[in-house]
Structure 1
Amino acid sequence: MRHKKLIIGTGICLLGIALSAAWFIPCKLEATYAGKTPYQYDAVSAKSFHANTVSLLGRKNPVTDISISPKKLSKSIQRITVTYGDMSVSVPVKAIKADHIAWSYADGPIYEGDSFHSEDISAKLIYADNTQKELAVSDFELTKTPEILTADDHTVTAKTILGEEQYEIPLNTISKLSMESKELLYEGDYPKSDFSYEVTYSGNEKKELSVDDVEISDTISLAAGNNDISVTYLGKEYTSTITAKQKTAAVVAAETYKAELDNSVSNVTTDSIFVSVQQKYTESGEYFLTHIIVNDPSNQVKGGLSNDSWGSYREYPTTYAGRTGAAVTTNGSYFSYDSGNLYALDVLLKMEKF
């Protein structure tokens, strides 16, 4: 009987120990996310989780010395592993989903022909609730970029947290390339540097180009009339029309007698008249030789007398030229503008008598 009491007592004691252990010793871990609703790709802190150890009999003991993994939410519903000691539990954390990426490049208008600069590109992550967050440079990698922005190549390819993205940079494209000359052109050959080059963009803005910016023949041959000239810029060919006039006799003379013009004491060159005045020297004195070439002698050369009757109005050659439209006028009278007298060689006429 005594032995039975001892066994029962021991059994009760062991049962008490077991119950005590089942109450105090934790057997599993429970955790919940208690922070604010995060955004996808945000990092969360272990402090945002409430964790308890749970004994076999359901006793809960709060714990704070926990760790979590992963810390960054790569999914809109991310399972986070909470660990305490040798116990862990998986906790689902719902995040506000990232919807798309909004790209931007540089400030102000961008024109075809501009160089691409990777440092000028930026991106924002747009969430389902329209919240925007600036992406760091480390959040995306540019895998394909153009060197020069053109109408055919102005797209950037990037590897991002949302996968591969393509961004088409808004561009003011070239609508026209103009080639012009500041001077009147005649048929003939001209160096390409004699012309100016200008592009017009889709927004009607204009930009002057240097001769080194374009690809064109070193010598431009122009025929009389309209000439279509091909100019290549940024690998694209454009056609510009240059109008050249037919060379007149006066223009040909200016080219033929260029050395004479350079050494003249006075000259006039237009498309209708060529005049070169040379100063000549002889032993007995000096004189001036005038070389004149006109396009139409029948209309441009005039001769006449300046009202020979004594005492009547006398017209100057310049007035006569203006009245008749003559380029060259020859004074055919014997009227001396210096003395006011009529003369023929050394014979003077006065009162209609020699």
Structure 2
Amino acid sequence: MTADAAKQKLVLLVSVVVLLLGALAAHWFFVSRHLQSTDNAYVEADMAVLAPKITGYVVEVLVQDNEPVVAGQPLLKIEDSDYRARVAYAEAALGAQVAALQTLESEIRLQQSVIRQVQAEQTSARAEQQRAGSDRSRFTELGRSGAASRQQLDDAVAKAVQADAALVAAEARLAAEQGRLSVFRDRRLELQAALAEAEATRQLAQIDLENTVLRAPVAGVLGNKRVQVGQLLQPGVQVMTVVPLAEVYVTANFKETQVSSMQPGQRVALEVDALAGEPLQGYIDSFSPAAGSRFSLLPPENATGNFTKIVQRIPVRIRVQNLAELQGRLRPGMSVVARVDTRSGSERLVLAEPVELPGPAAPAQARLGF
């Protein structure tokens, strides 16, 4: 091989290497440096963990594991005879309070009639007092002039005293009847409070009766069933879980050094291990308000003097595009590789039904940066 041929070969080899390095540099500058990826990502869902609100024995389980359910569908039934009896007792107590209040209302109306009668008697007594007083004054003058006898004067004075006493008695009776009406009104307030208490007790009993049927709070697929017929349930004990597969999302835990250029609405390429490399698209929905370590059972305490700096992870929620087309193939817990294109804007991607699209893109100030 001549020196010129070798030289040309070397130049060609160097040119190829330079072009290759240039292509790699251009790819990094225009593409790679704008991509942030992590394999610390998983499919998630807001699963509904179901537990009874009352105590009782299970009489019927209406569903099985892995069975699709709709919102409001009955899942199991608890023995309700005790709760029906409590409702009947509460309704009877409520009826008694209603009857007592109605009786008192009748007594109040009767007492108001009595007061009107006594007021009329008082008016009559006052008029009689005025007449008797006038007679006494007139007979007194006549007695001084000798035109009336002593007996007539004494009769006029006695009738005036009787009229005064009758008026005092009428006024006293009116005060007593009015006081009795006040007592009735206070009793009415007491009975109204008792009636409200009885109504609340009936409502609570009715709620407990309705809670003997455990229903699905959301649509999804049933799983983790831990209940059998005849089992005694206690309030708060988990019995099953409903997973809303139509509303799953991806939580990607990016390093804190990766999120400075991320913002809601940016496109995300997703690779799910279980889908054999089938490409998926999504967008950033939101960022966690704190690093994942702050929500752990034992958050790190760096003020003890044993500090070692560790790059923290920021959970990022990613919505999946065209989720309905996957027909429930995404299951919570599946591993995902997420790649965010930070060159993309904050526009939202359109999701297929029945998944609803969130609101408009976050404003510029929602951008997460340091």
Q: Shorter chain as normaliser: what TM range?
A: under 0.3
Kindly indicate whether structure 1 or structure 2 has the higher relative contact order, using CA contacts under 8 Å at least 6 residues apart. 2
- Larger C-alpha radius of gyration, 1 or 2? 1
Question: TM-score of the superposition, structure 2-length normalised?
Answer: 0.20
TM-score, with length taken from structure 1: 0.21
- Give the helix-richer structure, 1 or 2: 2
